[in-house]
Amino acid sequence: MNNPTLINNLRSVPDFPIKGINFRDVTTLYKNPECLKIIEEEIYELYKDKWITKVVGIESRWFVIGAILARKLNAWFVLCRKLWKLPAETIQESYEKEYWKDTIEIHKDAINENDIVLLHDDLLATWGTMKATYDLVKKFNPKNIYINFIIEITDEGLHWRDIFPKDTEITTLMKL
């Protein structure tokens, strides 16, 4: 898709969070109403006929687009949060991140076996958080799980998609 408006409004931050990393900052897309509209419309077109019942947004930047998508798809919005941020009983998944270990959780009553779930994240560059979210949602045994990213980093030698089951549909709006 690589919409030129999105690419032109995406900020790159060199040497963040560590030297040698060129961080792709989506906050510049979120603050621009035209970019938000493009993101909403492009993702909606990808999933409007998939019968999505739940959209999972991962803490915390991903709540922005996740909630917009849920409303647009007439689906429920599910928060996937860091440990001890949700008030009721949860199901958890721990995982290794690029720089440390972390745990995420979803309310125990948030997803069921009749749901078709869309997981949304901003960036497919390092796999830890989305893979943990996928594994966590899989514990609920939904009918299907789709994955969407705004950006996919496609540097030579990186095979991020390979960590997910081959039959998992993964879409991205931009490949950089």
> Using H for helix, E for strand and C for coil, what is the string for 107-159?
ECCCCCCCCEEEEEEEEECCCHHHHHHHHHHHCCCCCEEEEEEEEECCCCCCC
Q: Sheet holding 116-124: strands in order across? A: 90-96, 101-107, 76-82, 54-58, 116-124, 144-152, 170-175
Assess whether 98 carries a catalytic annotation.
yes
Active-site residue (options: 98, 105, 161, 169): 98
Task: List the catalytic residue out of 40, 42, 61, 161.
Answer: 61
Active site residues: 61, 98
